[in-house]
Homo-oligomer: A and B are copies of this chain.
Amino acid sequence: MMLFGLEEATVAELAAGVRPQEAPRGGMAPGDAGEVFARAAWTCIAEPGDGTAGALVDRLGAGPALAAVLEPGAPGRLAPQLGDTGEPDGFGDELEHALQRWRPRLSSGEVIRCLQQAARVGARLALPGDEVWPGGVDDLGRNAPLALWWRGVAPALVSLPNSIALVGARAATGYGEHIAMEASAGLVDRGFTIVSGAAYGIDGMAHRAALASSGLTVAFLAGGVDRFYPSGHDALLGRIVADGAVVSELPCGAAPTKWRFLQRNRLIAASSAATIVLEAGWRSGSLNTAGHAAALGRPLGAVPGPVTSPTSAGCHRLIREYDAVCVTSAAEMAELVGDRVVQVPLDFPGDGAGGGDRDGTPGQGQRTSDQIRVFDALSGRSPRTVHDVARRAGLSVAAVQGALGALDLEGAARERETGWVRASR
C-alpha cells in the first residue's frame, strides 16, 4: 500500500529508526514498516482520545484507514463497509466530520519530520500488542491511543501492570511532598512501579523518590517526548529516561496543551493498577485523573490532610463524594490493588481542569472539549486564521468557527484584522 506516494524503502527506513529492536539488521518487513508508518501518521493527524480515529483504525487497520482518508470521497465509499446505515448521526456522518478535522493535518512532510526527530532523540514507537505496550490503556476502548512514543528502558513499560499512579497538586505543600516521598519509596519497596505526570510538586517528588529508591518510574507527558515539560524538570526527565521511561501519544515536536494534559491523565489512570491522589485543591487537575481511574473501575485512593489546608480539600472531596479510599500509608495504598472496584461516578470534578473556583468565580469549567482545544490553539500575541487554528486544534473549520463564537462571547478570544487571538483568560 502506497501512503502519501512514498517509496517502500523510504517508509522502511523511517520505521526502522523508531523500531531498532524490531530490525536488528537488514531492515524491517514491508508490512510491519507500513503499520509503523501509518500509526506514526495517525499520532500526527488525530488529537489524543479521538474516538472516530480509534474506531476507524480498529475496523480497517491503521494503514488502510490512513489510505482511505487520503482519498477523496472516502466516507461515502467506506460507510457501508463500516456498517453505517446512512441514518443521520451514524458513523458516516461522524466520519465526514472527522475528515474535516484530519484533512488540514494530512501532510507526509510532517510525519517524516516527526519520525526523523524521534530517531534522532532515541524515541521509539510502541504499537498495541508489543511487549512494552501497556495493556491497561486498551480498556479505553475507541479512545485508546493508536500508538505510544517513548524513551527509556523497556522493563519500566513492561512493569506497568504492576504500577501505582501517584498524582497531585503542582503547588504542593511541604506535607504533600513528604507524603509523596514516603508513598513512592514505600511502594517501590513493595515492588511497584511509580507512574506520574512529571509536573512540579507531587508528581516530581513521586518520580524522584522512586529513582532514589532504585525503583522503576514512568512519566506520561502531554507533549512530544523530545521536548521535556516543564523545562525545569529537564534533568529529572533525563534521569527518568535513563532508568525508567517517558511516554506520550503525541509525536515529537508536539507542544503540550490543556486538552492534551486532560487526555494524558487518562493514560496515567488507565496504564496503572491504582491511582492515588496525594494532595489536590478543590478543583485540581488531579481530580480529572482520579475521575478517569474511577470511570475505568481502577481502585482510587486519596490521602487525607489537615482540613485547614486548601491543598488537601480535593482529597477530602474524593473521599466524601466519590468513594475514594482513605489511604494513610504505602501499605494501605498497596492494599488497594486488586482489592476493590470503585463505582463510576457521574459528573466528576475537574474535567474542565483548572476551571471555575470553589467560590464561584466564573472560569473555564463549562467549556466544551472543542472550546478547550480551540483556546489551546490560540496565541495571545499572533493572530491566527480559522484554518490555522483548525489544523493546530485538530478540528474541522466548522467546529472551530462554532467554538470561536462561544469563546468570543465568553471574552476569551478576540478577532483581529488578520485572525483570532486569545484574550485575557
Query: Footprint of B on A, CB under 8 Å?
Result: 175, 178-179, 303-308, 312-313, 316, 319-320, 325-329, 332
Partner of A304, one of B175, B179, B316, B325: B316
Smallest Cβ distance from A331 to chain B, in angstroms? 12
Query: A329–B313 Cα gap in the complex (Å)?
Result: 11
Query: Can you add 9 more A-B contacts, CB < 8 Å, to A305-B307, A320-B328?
Result: A175-B308, A178-B308, A304-B306, A304-B307, A304-B312, A305-B305, A305-B306, A316-B328, A320-B332
B contact residues around A328 at 8 Å (CB): 307, 313, 316, 320
B contact residues around A332 at 8 Å (CB): 320
Query: A258–B179 Cα gap in the complex (Å)?
Result: 37
CB nearest to A329 among chain B residues: B307
B contact residues around A303 at 8 Å (CB): 307
Smallest Cβ distance from A365 to chain B, in angstroms? 22
6 contacts between A and B (CB under 8 A): A175-B306, A175-B308, A307-B329, A320-B325, A320-B326, A326-B326
Smallest Cβ distance from A335 to chain B, in angstroms? 10
Query: A319–B320 Cα gap in the complex (Å)?
Result: 10
Q: Count identical subunits in the complex.
A: 2
Smallest Cβ distance from A187 to chain B, in angstroms? 15
CB nearest to A183 among chain B residues: B307
Query: A313–B329 Cα gap in the complex (Å)?
Result: 11
B contact residues around A304 at 8 Å (CB): 304-307, 312, 316, 319, 326
Query: A325–B326 Cα gap in the complex (Å)?
Result: 11
Query: A305–B306 Cα gap in the complex (Å)?
Result: 4
Given contacts A306-B305, A307-B179, contact A319 B326 (CB under 8 A): yes
Q: Which 6 A-B pairs have the closest CB atoms?
A: A304-B304, A307-B328, A319-B326, A316-B328, A320-B326, A306-B306
Query: A196–B175 Cα gap in the complex (Å)?
Result: 31
Smallest Cβ distance from A249 to chain B, in angstroms? 34
B contact residues around A325 at 8 Å (CB): 320
Smallest Cβ distance from A107 to chain B, in angstroms? 51
Name the residue among A179, A305, A313 with the largest chain B CB count within 10 angstroms. Answer: A305
CB nearest to A175 among chain B residues: B306
Query: A252–B374 Cα gap in the complex (Å)?
Result: 76
Smallest Cβ distance from A70 to chain B, in angstroms? 54
Query: A178–B325 Cα gap in the complex (Å)?
Result: 26
Smallest Cβ distance from A177 to chain B, in angstroms? 12
B contact residues around A306 at 8 Å (CB): 175, 304-306
CB nearest to A315 among chain B residues: B304
Smallest Cβ distance from A37 to chain B, in angstroms? 50
Query: A151–B262 Cα gap in the complex (Å)?
Result: 61
Name the residue among A303, A304, A332 with the largest chain B CB count within 10 angstroms. Answer: A304
Smallest Cβ distance from A14 to chain B, in angstroms? 50
B contact residues around A319 at 8 Å (CB): 304, 319, 326
CB nearest to A324 among chain B residues: B326
Query: A320–B327 Cα gap in the complex (Å)?
Result: 8
Smallest Cβ distance from A276 to chain B, in angstroms? 12
Smallest Cβ distance from A180 to chain B, in angstroms? 12
Query: A329–B307 Cα gap in the complex (Å)?
Result: 8
